[in-house]
Amino acid sequence: MTRVYVGMSGGVDSSLTAALLVEQGYDVTGVYMKNWTQDLPGMRCPWADDLADAKRVAVQLGIDFKVYDFEREYKQKVVDYMIDEYRAGRTPNPDIMCNQEVKFKLFLESALDDGADMIATGHYARVRDGVLLQAVDANKDQTYFLYRVTGEALQKTLFPLGEYTKPEVRRMAEERGLYTANKKDSQGICFVGKIGIREFLGQYITQVPGNIIDKTTGKVLGRHDGAIFYTLGQRHGLDLGGGLPFYVVGKDMDKNEVYVSTNLNDETMWRNTLTLHSVHWINDAPADGDYQMRIRHRAPLVSVGIAKNDDGSVTLSLPDAQRAATPGQSVVLYDGDVCLGGGIIA
């Protein structure tokens, strides 16, 4: 009998994942990954509640249950990475790094060392012979967050929810009487819950006020708490008031200045070519040519030309200019349903 360790977060998705695998005849063990337990001002970390919910479901299903403590590695690999990227003026995606370094590396290695044959998670994605495919539910598809996982890891991974829509998952959980069937989905950063990124970063980064400057006129329009907190295309949180809305069109980290404009067609906001660094291919690198890309989670797939460079970077040619392609964020590349990999915007 195949032994599968299921990452159980205390949510409905991972709960149903475990239930389905039990029904399919696997020898299932539930594992809660203790990644983050720190409370923040005005925000209690819900990890203990989530752990209790995961345990309850494991008891319901009659499966073994373990806790893996990854808190030290998580801080180093995910949280510190995110803080360093923001300090450099970029906008990272910690969920992607969590999947790369923790769930499909640390968890996988720990589970295999513990006697598992495979792991499973509640991600909305499909895998076939180590190839990552988009989920049936296009609205919930999470391949964007999984593009840095290796083909070798996917050979040892099951994604039972990839064939279902979110409403179907809720219904199936209710039919099985799972304790978490009606639990709300978690929001916000993967490890911080409902707190905003600015509040989180404020615990680690000294706020240094600076000027908000109209890019067109050079006029100082207001003040900000730190250029680090602003991202390209951002509209909210500028507190400039009145008239047409302003958008962030650039920033100078050395001068701690944020540049804004009311011009939606500002050339810094629209890009016809992009360079990706830290490129990762899930399996073999594709031939140069025409594919599809997703510039952020839930963004529509758009056509793109891929050209690989000798230094390992990739140049993307976009038939339709893309707005607010922000340095530090990921572009994920597809060939139809197949997620090829991707890279980080330079």
Q: Which pLDDT does position 24 carry in this prediction?
A: 98
Domain ranges of the chain: 3-175, 206-259, 267-345
What pLDDT score does 193 carry?
A: 56
How far CA 118 is from CA of 3, 107, 124, in Å, comes to: 7, 11, 17
Q: Distance of CA 34 to CAs 51, 199, 207, 255, 313, Å? A: 8, 22, 30, 39, 35
Q: Which residues are catalytic?
A: 98, 190
Determine the topology of domain 206-259 in CATH: SH3 type barrels. (2.30.30)
- Three-state DSSP at 53 gives helix
- The bridge status of strand 3-7 relative to strand 210-214 is unpaired
CATH class of 267-345: mainly beta
Residues 6 or more apart in contact with residue 341 via CB below 8 angstroms: 147, 148, 279, 280, 281, 282, 285, 332, 333
In the structure encoding, which two tokens stand for residue 231, read together?
């991202």
Cα angle vertex 23, ends 19, 24, to 5°?
A: 115
Homologous superfamily of domain range 3-175: HUPs (3.40.50.620)
Closest CA to 232 of 271, 187, 273, 278: 271
Determine the pLDDT at residue 265: 87
Per-residue pLDDT of the chain (346 residues; tens, 9 = 90+): 999 999 999 999 999 999 999 999 999 999 999 999 988 777 788 899 999 999 999 999 999 999 999 999 999 999 999 999 999 999 999 999 999 999 999 999 999 999 999 999 999 999 999 999 999 999 999 999 999 999 999 999 999 999 999 999 999 999 999 999 999 887 655 555 556 778 888 888 988 999 999 999 999 999 999 999 999 999 988 988 778 899 999 999 999 999 999 998 888 899 999 999 999 999 999 999 999 999 999 999 999 999 999 999 999 999 999 999 999 999 999 999 999 999 999 9
Residues near 96 by Cβ (< 8 Å), separated by ≥ 6?
Answer: 144, 145, 147, 148, 330
Q: Give the pLDDT of residue 94.
A: 92
Task: Name the phi and psi angles at 82, rounded to 5.
Answer: -60, -45
**pTM for this model (two decimals):** 0.94
